[in-house]
Amino acid sequence: MNGNLILLNDHHFVLSVNFGASIFTIPDMDSEKIRIGFLGAGGIARSHAFALNSLKYFYSAVPEIELEAVCSARKESSNSFAVKFGFRKSLTLEEFKSNTKINTVLILGPNKVHFAHLKLALEMPSVTRIYLEKPVCSNLEEEMEMAQLAVNSGKQIQVGFQYLQTASVREALDFWHSGKLGNPIHFDLKYYHGDYLQKSYRDKRQTRLTPAPDGGAMADLGSHGISLLMAFLGENLQITSAVQAGRFADVPDDSDLFSLLSLVQPENFAAGTMSASRISSGTGDLVSLEIYAEKGMLRYSSHSVDYFEYYLEETGQWTRHIVGSNYTPITSFPSGHVPPGWLRSMIHAHYIFLGGNDPKAFMPDLKHGLAVQRIVRETAKYLKNYRDLIQDNGKK
């Protein structure tokens, strides 16, 4: 994180806020007790509780962590979460805000409350760091106010794009930015699963079927894909068109189940596609990335998470770079060759969040979160144009 200012590009409503060492400092891991408050007590909150409790097993130097309080919209959920996962208190929102022991807040509630909860956390004088789950907000007005609120807050803000901390992705990013493959020419990224083909699954997740950009596949899954692309290609990606597919009677037409974006990177005219799907049968939980460049290509798939591959024009050879769970020189537990899982990247994201030193890590700060949110928001506009076009053609 480095930075200085808010940048607004009127043509594309590009919002960016850069937070650097001049604005906040991350305390040494051993120098401070971390007193954590959770805003949210759902499934993702359980994953964060697991990650925080697992840090001591994976890293030799971790801060002392105290699970101070949890708050959620339903008091019974908050109470049971506190008891089950070892939080000292279950609080109402007002009680949470006035708790001066909390110095670290994790914002883990539904998408529609992320903005309000960030405002609340920024107003807590004892809070020095905030972990904000994606998407950071729901509309342009919230993006603009969020940028203004945070620019001089003096607080560390990290956005929940944990996939960036997957061991193979971390190493692939380091290799890509070495410049050995030259400038990108074209690219393709997919993030697919098929669970929403089942009505019983959709019925349990009605809050995720709200209209884009608050809900839908691009906001939920695609935001991770956009984040990955921006880590490799920069945050000035622009949409040229979008389409969506899949219709079910119980899903609003403006909540995309599958959507595909055509994107360009204006600096070097690289172009490609990024798609997100909740209805791709047989994919499991697939993240697939291919980047074709002047001197070769790079590819990664979560179906073979232990490695990434690259091809060099100069040698005419493919190289498979085996990574496993190897985060050396920081850590390698239980050993480097053990296959990493989804939760492993979340544990590393918390290590970085709480002050761990990893020069290879891509830090998804609020600037990055707002850049991703710009694409998510603009996707909703392009998808509406597409739906209107299809509807008009159907009337002819």
- Interval 121-144: pLDDT, tens: 999 999 999 999 998 998 889 999
Q: No. of H helices and E strands in the chain? A: 11, 16
Nearest-Å Rg of the Cα atoms of the chain is 21
Helix intervals (H) in 22-139: 43-58, 75-85, 93-97, 114-122
β pairing state of 65-71 and 184-192: unpaired
Please compute the mean of the pLDDT values over residues 184-189 and round it to a whole number.
98
Banded model confidence at residue 154, pLDDT cuts 50, 70, 90: confident
Helix (H) or strand (E) holding 265: strand 258-265
Give the pLDDT of residue 1. Answer: 38
Query: What distance in Å separates the CA atoms of residue 290 and residue 346, rounded to the nearest whole number?
Result: 23
pLDDT at 24 over 50: no
Q: According to the model, what pLDDT value does residue 29 have?
A: 54
Res 387 pLDDT > 60: yes
Mean pLDDT of the chain: 89
Of 342 and 69, the structure prediction assigns the larger pLDDT to 69
**The whole model's pTM is what?**
0.88
Q: Return d(Cα 21, Cα 299) in angstroms, integer.
A: 33
| Residue entry with tokens 């994790």 | 106
Provide the β-strand partners of residue 175: none
DSSP annotation of 49 = H
21: amino acid identity, one letter: A
Question: Which domains are seen in the chain, by residue range?
Answer: 6-162 (3.40.50.720), 164-342 (3.30.360.10)
Q: Is 24 exposed, middle or buried (0-12, 13-18, 19+ CB in 10 A)?
A: middle
| pLDDT number for residue 285 | 93
Instruction: Look at residue 101 and tell me whether its pLDDT is greater than 70.
Output: yes
Q: Which of 355, 211, 266 is nearest to 9 (CA)?
A: 266
Integer angstrom CA distances of residue 48 from 37, 114, 167, 242, 294: 11, 16, 18, 33, 40
Q: Dig out the tokens for 356 from the structure.
A: 């761990």
Res. 396: pLDDT tops 50: yes
Reported as half-sphere exposure (CB side, CA atoms, 13 A), residue 158 has a value of: 24
Q: How much is the pLDDT for 302?
A: 95
**Residue range 372-380: average pLDDT?**
94
Is residue 379 a contact partner of residue 249, using CB atoms and an 8 Å limit? Answer: no
Q: Is the pLDDT of residue 310 over 70?
A: yes
CB of 336 within 8 A of CB of 133?
no
DSSP class of residue 218 equals: I
The structure tokens listed for 358 are 């990893």
Question: Which residue spans within 278-316 are E strands per DSSP?
Answer: 286-293, 296-301, 307-312
Per cent of the chain over pLDDT 90 is 78
**Helix spans in 110-215 (H):** 114-122, 140-150, 167-176, 199-204
**pLDDT score, position 31:** 59
Mean pLDDT of 182-202: 96
Instruction: With a cut of 80, say whether residue 369 has pLDDT above it.
Output: yes
Q: Minimum mean pLDDT among 15-29, 38-52, 70-84: which range?
A: 15-29
